Amino acid sequence: MSEHMVSNIPVKREDFEENLRRRQFTGLVWQRLFFIANVSTMVILLAIAYNIINGAFGYVVFTYAVDPEELSERPISELSEPELVDLLLQKVPRRLRVVLRDNLSQVPNNVFTQEPISAVLKGKTFDPEWADLKVNDLTDAQIAQILSDNLTQEEIAFIIRRQIIQPNISQSWNLVESLLNRSEIERIAAEKYPKGDLVFYSWVNLDFITNPISSNATNAGLRTALLGTLWIMLVVVVASFPIGIAAAIYLQEYAPQDSRITQIIETNIRNLAGVPSIIYGMLGLAVFARVLEYYTSGRFVGVTDTNGRTVLSAGLTLGLLILPTIIINAQEALKAVPSSLRDASYGLGATKWQTVTGVVLPNAIGGILTGIILAMSRAIGETAPLIVVGASTFIGIDPNGPFSKFTVVPIQIYQWTSRPELEFKNTAAAAIIVLIALLLLLNSAAIYLRNRYSMRI
Amino acid sequence: MTEAMIDTKITVELKHVSVYYDSKIAVSDVSLPIERNKITAFIGPSGCGKTTVLRVLNRMNDLIEGARVEGEAIFNGKNLYDPNVDPVQVRRYIGMVFQKPNPFPKSIYDNIAYGPRLLGIKDRATLDHIVETSLRGAALWDEVKSDLKKSGLALSGGQQQRLCIARTIAVEPEIILMDEPCSALDPIATQRIEELMRELQERYTIVIVTHNMQQAQRASDYCAFFSIRKDETVVGKENRWGILAEFNSTEKLFSDPDQQETRDYISGRFG
């Protein structure tokens, strides 16, 4: 560099170089700090993942009320239907009617013993002579006959496993113990449970997802809570989707932008997005579960067995909770539509409504959907407001509509973690994995939609 | 005003038009006629209000909050700023092509069909016919006829601008306003647009804003030169507004302008 080029700047060459080193060093320090921040985030995330996965897999000992090897000479899977039913008849004759009720009954449980067989087993195979008899008029052998005629081999084998063998997880170890202390675990298992089976077990499995709530960790499943979550999400979408988009369209496209009232409304919506969720829960309890009980309990359409603590109340509460987020995101998406497109539409003689529906909305819908999905994934993980609104911690029947009692996955997790039996820690970990999988699914849907629509613009 | 009094040669006439943004004046007292089936060019330095006056012609200024127009714009005997005139109706007869090509992110076909559909045309055969004639009118048909389903955004800049012109003529306006339509295009694309303007002139009246003096000279019949006036008593940018300095035939304006100011501008002495 020639001298005259820097002659206007009163800095000596050596000073300049020293100064440059110092400036480069400052940059380097900050770069390292940012990197450390990244590393700590990763460490925390890994710790969480470790904690969950550690609980969801590992060795367990199954013990049995009746050892399957002593039950019959051949394995259960090789027995025929009559042979299996015979086992039921021998081992648990008094449970046969319960099995019949749980597997084949076509009438409500409370009239099971009062209705004639023709009604109870409508459409099933049975001896026509029994049509006018009642369940308690039949002998055990006749009931066994009906079971054997109507159920498949797998179904009866499953019933035998539940009713006779009754596998039960007596002890469990987490993943790290299972991997590091295998010989020790084998020794303990052989000592304490000579007749038990030691197996490496994944607590997340298909049975876990499809089994209903149970007080026994071995049989406990997530179905009731998953259905509750899905029903509530349906209500959330139906309630908050149209209102949120409509409000955003009004605020962005119609409301006078510099008016004081619009600004106050927008500021308030932004503040509402930050209100703690428990407060929405209290609002939901007061308004949806109490004041509007006549509607949320379904009494206005003739449902009588509920109070206001239903799927509908919970869904409306969560819908209210994510409404501000939906409005803000939708408004941002509308704002991002280039004004040149609006001009083009107006320039062709479009009315405001035609411009909004023909140009603005189609170009913003990707962003709007992304915002809604992200808001939904927030709602799925909410616990506090639903406890306040009145989620049940234990319900025996699946929610089947807006007027059902409900529980949801996060509450189920909370409930399991607070149980004294150690095995429920494992089911909780498994439920967390299912919940996270659900959230990842929603987030990938959001990313997919964003990419798909942003390519078109 | 009766039919007999309408000057058939003049399609729009601005009478003492001033435009304000909030309380600040942007353009003051512009009066000029736009002759039917001619190309009128607006030229002048940046900030002189050419585009603002252009947007007066189809009430696009209504979309800007705080904008206010005084004076009259007489279109076929009717003041466009009469309280019972709907701006949507105005824009359907006075179309606009913008500075940056702005096709909708839809197919070429849907871009052209957008305007007719706004008017309620749903019949497929009618729309097909409109799309074809519009694309032919904008000299784009041969380039895109096999690919009407392709996104309008997949076209080159010059093609996009011709697509925008086709989209404008699809609703058969009387006047096409062009706001620096070639400023984002290369010289070859610019030349095609200029040729196209000469073809369109047979059916439409064109008003074009341009920064390119050669373009105004080549492609227009009449020329309006806008200039800037300043209030020396006020400091800052707020003291400037645009005026119409000279309106003449293009030939006269570029060879023997009435105003010294115009002469200075076209010879490159300022602006």
Number of neighbouring beta carbons within 10 Å of residue B264: 14
* pTM of the full structure: 0.80
- C-alpha distance from residue B22 to each of A186, A263, B41, B85, B165 (Å): 85, 19, 28, 22, 32
Contacts of A257 in chain B (CB under 8 A): 65
Q: Which of B100, B151, B168 sits opposite A348 (nearest CB)?
A: B168
The nearest alpha carbon in chain A to B151 belongs to A456
Q: Which of A256, A341, A347 sits opposite B91 (nearest CB)?
A: A347
Query: Does B164 sit within 8 Å of A348, measured CB to CB?
Result: no
- At B182-236, the pLDDT tens digits run 988 889 989 999 999 999 999 999 999 998 888 999 989 999 999 998 877 776 6
Query: Does B100 sit within 8 Å of A347, measured CB to CB?
Result: no
ipTM score here?
0.90
pLDDT value at position A282?
A: 94
Interface of A with B (CB under 8 A): 256-258, 338, 340-351, 354, 358-359, 362-363, 456-457
Q: Band the pLDDT of A455: cuts 50, 70, 90.
A: low
Q: Band the pLDDT of B4: cuts 50, 70, 90.
A: very low
Confidence check: pLDDT of A276 > 90: yes
Cα(A77)–Cα(A154) distance, integer angstroms: 8
- At B137-167, the pLDDT tens digits run 998 999 999 999 999 999 999 999 999 999 9
Closest CA to B166 of B136, B145, B188, B146: B136
- At B42-71, the pLDDT tens digits run 999 988 889 999 999 999 988 888 899 999
Closest CA to A72 of A91, A55, A93, A95: A91
pLDDT mean over A295-321: 87
Contacts of B63 in chain A (CB under 8 A): 342-343, 346
CA distance A324 to chain B (A): 27
Cα(A253)–Cα(B166) distance, integer angstroms: 28
- At A226-265, the pLDDT tens digits run 999 999 999 999 999 999 999 999 999 999 888 899 999 9
Please report which helix (H) or strand (E) contains residue A117, including its range. helix A117-120
Confidence check: pLDDT of A147 > 50: yes
Confidence check: pLDDT of A447 > 70: yes
The nearest alpha carbon in chain B to A455 belongs to B105
Query: Does A340 sit within 8 Å of B114, measured CB to CB?
Result: no
Q: Which of B91, B103, B105 sits opposite A348 (nearest CB)?
A: B91
Confidence check: pLDDT of A90 > 60: yes
